[in-house]
Structure 1
Amino acid sequence: MIRARLKSLHLSRFALVMLAGLFLGGIIHIATVMGIPGQVPQSAHARIAAFGPDGRFNMLPASRAGAEPLPMLDPTMLHATCRFALADGPLMIEAALPPPFWSFALFNAKGEAIYSLNDRTSGNGGRLEALVLSSEQLAILRENPPIGLEDMIVIETDETSGYALLRAFDGDPLAHQALVEAMDAATCRPLDSDSQG
C-alpha cells in the first residue's frame, strides 16, 4: 500500500513537471513568434520613406556591398525612388534621361513589380511620360483628358499605393553630373487640375 502511494506520488510529480515544461515551452514559443516581426527587415516601401518625402523622386545613396539602400540594386546604376498613393489622385511621372540606358519600374507596396519599361521601349524618343491611375480615375479622366494624354504611357492598376524606381547607367565619369541633374529633375507627383485640358 505504501508502495502504491509512493508510485502515485511519483507519477503526480512527473505529471506536474511535464505540465510545467509544456507551459514554459508554450510561453517561449509565443514570445518567439511575437518577436519575429521585429527581426524581419522593413519592406522596400517602408525603407524608401527614409530617403525623402513622398510624391517626388528621391536619389538613393550609392549601392555598396553591405550597405545597399534597397536589396539587389546594381552598383553601376544611379537610382531614384518615389512613393505614391493613388488616393492623392493619378500619378504623373516624367523624366528625360540621357543615353546609354535607363529603366523605370512600378512596384506595389509589397514590392511586387506591376510595370516596367526602358529607354528602348518607351516609344517617346527615350523620354518617359507615364500616368499611373486606378480604373475609376481613368473613367473620370476620359471625360476631361489632360493635354497630351495620347502621347503618355497610361498604367492602369488596382494597387492603391506603391513606389516607382528610376534607374540610369552611370558608366561615364564625365557625364555623371549631367545624369544626376537629369534624375533630380525627374518628376513624380499627383496629376493636378492645371495639367488637364
Structure 2
Amino acid sequence: MRLTLPDRFFDYLPWAATTLLIAGIVHVVSVLLMPAVAPRTAYARVLQVVGDQPSGRFVMLPPAAPGAEPLPFEDPAFAEGVCVYDLSKGLLRVAMPADGEDFLALSFHSGGGRLYHAVTDRAAIKGKIDIVIGDEKQMDALQSASDEAPPQEVRLTSPTKRGFVLVRAFAKRTTDQARARERLASVNCARFDPPKD
C-alpha cells in the first residue's frame, strides 16, 4: 500500500503539534520566570542607586546623562525620585502637592519590579496627591478600623511587602529642570499611622 502526500502529512501532524505546544509552554514559562530569577531586578537596581537610605524615605535621583543613567531607559526630560518601601515596618504614605499645570507621574512597583499601579497629577484631589500603600492584611485592618466616612486618601494594595515608588516631574525645556526638581522636593514619603478612634 502506497502512502500519498496527505497521508504522510497526517502521520507527522501530531508530532509537529506536540513540538510546537512544548516550545510554546517553555517560552511562556521562561518569560514569566525571568523577573524572579534575573540577578538584577528593577528593585535591586533601585536599591543600588539609593544606597543605604532608610526604607520609606524619598530620594532624588541624579539627572540622566547619556551613558550614565541611574536607571535604564531614562528620559532626560524628567526629573525623578524614588521611594523604596518595606511594608513589614507598617503602611506607607506618599503625598505631594499638584498644581495641575506641571505634569507629575507616580508609578508603583512590586519587589520584582512589576508595575502594579500608576497615577498622574490628574488624580489629585483638592490640589494634593495622597496615597497610602499596604499589603492585603494591612488594608483589611485599615478598612475595618475606619469609620463610616470615606477615606481622604487613595489606598493601594501592594502585591509584595517590598517595592518602590518612582516619581517623575516633566521639564518642558532644559532650563525647567531645576524647577522640576523643586517640585519633587515637596514629595513626602513616610510611614502612615492610621488615626485612632
Q: What SS does the aligned partner of 2:45 have? A: helix
Native 8 Å contact 2:79 2:170 kept in 1:
yes
Report sequence identity in percent: 25
C-alpha distance in 2 between matches for 1:196 and 1:92: 17
User: Match of 1:74?
Assistant: 75
Which residue of 102, 105, 108 corresponds with 2:107? 105
1:142 paired with 2:143, answer yes
How do 1:1-150 residues align onto structure 2 when only pairs under 5 Å count? 42-49=40-47, 50-52=49-51, 53=53, 54-98=55-99, 99-120=101-122, 122-145=123-146, 150=151
Greater share of helix: 1
RMSD: 2.5
The superposition leaves residues 145-170 of structure 1 with CA deviations (integer Å, 9 ceiling, x where unpaired) of 39x96221110133111100000101
Q: Which residue of 2 aligns with 1:166?
A: 167
Q: Flag structure 2 segments of 5+ consecutive residues without an equivalent.
A: 1-37
Give, in whole Å, the separation in 2 of the partners of 1:123 and 1:171: 20
TM-score (norm 2): 0.69
Q: Indicate the residue corresponding to 1:26 in structure 2.
A: none
Change (3 A) 1:126 1:102: farther
**Displacement of 1:185:** 2.4
Counterpart residue type for residue 59 of structure 2 = N
Count of residue pairs the alignment pairs up: 155
Q: TM-score, normalised by structure 1?
A: 0.69
**Ranges in structure 1 where 5+ consecutive residues have no aligned partner:** 1-39
1:125 is displaced (CA, Å) by: 4.1
Contact persistence 1:134–1:156 (CA under 8 A): yes
Larger radius of gyration: 1
**What is the deviation of 1:138?**
1.5
Shift of the alpha carbon at 1:97?
4.0
